[in-house]
Amino acid sequence: MNADAKPAIVVVRRFDASPERVFDAWLDPQIARQWLFSTPDGEMVRAETDARVGGRFTFTERRDGEDIEHVGEYLVVDRPSRLVFTFAVPKYSTEYDRVTVEIRRLDKGCELTLTNEMSPEIYREWGERTRSGWTMLLDGLAALLGDEKRA
């Protein structure tokens, strides 16, 4: 086990769509603007991606008259199986998370595994705002940390 493993969450989801369609949905600005960093009440005012290794993205959403920018850089772009990017919301934090999207082809559709490794710095800022007792779920937490998945 890696001693400085970062806190991470893993979300797995199956889709009926092909791996290519699911992969492209992350990078095609016309599709990504509809779901990726959008919220129900916001208005996406800018969605730009430079979908290559070292390329950057910007998604700006207007929420209550305020522009919230989501930025990051693509680290791995391997269509249709693997996408890795950094991600930050500069308004809230200068720290970057790292998101890995892995897509595995199934007989019908595909399975997507998303891993979000977080910078503990973000926790400091976030934690201060929401310091209240949410329910403790030890098993859930252990599963989320999932070192057995990494091996």
Q: Which stretch binds another protein (CB under 8 A): 20-28, 46-54, 55-63, 64-72?
A: 20-28
Quote the least distance from Cβ 102 to another protein, whole Å: 13
Subset of residues 103 to 142 that bind another protein, contact rule: CB under 8 A? 112, 114, 116, 118, 120-121, 123-124, 126-128, 130-142
Quote the least distance from Cβ 8 to another protein, whole Å: 8
Nearer to another protein, 52 or 108 (CB): 108
84 contributes a contact to another protein by CB under 8 A? no
Instruction: Round to whole Å and give the CA distance between 71 and 56.
Output: 7
* Interface ranges with another protein (CB under 8 A): 1-7, 9, 11, 13, 15-18, 20-22, 25, 31, 34-36, 38, 112, 114, 116, 118, 120-121, 123-124, 126-128, 130-142, 144-145, 147
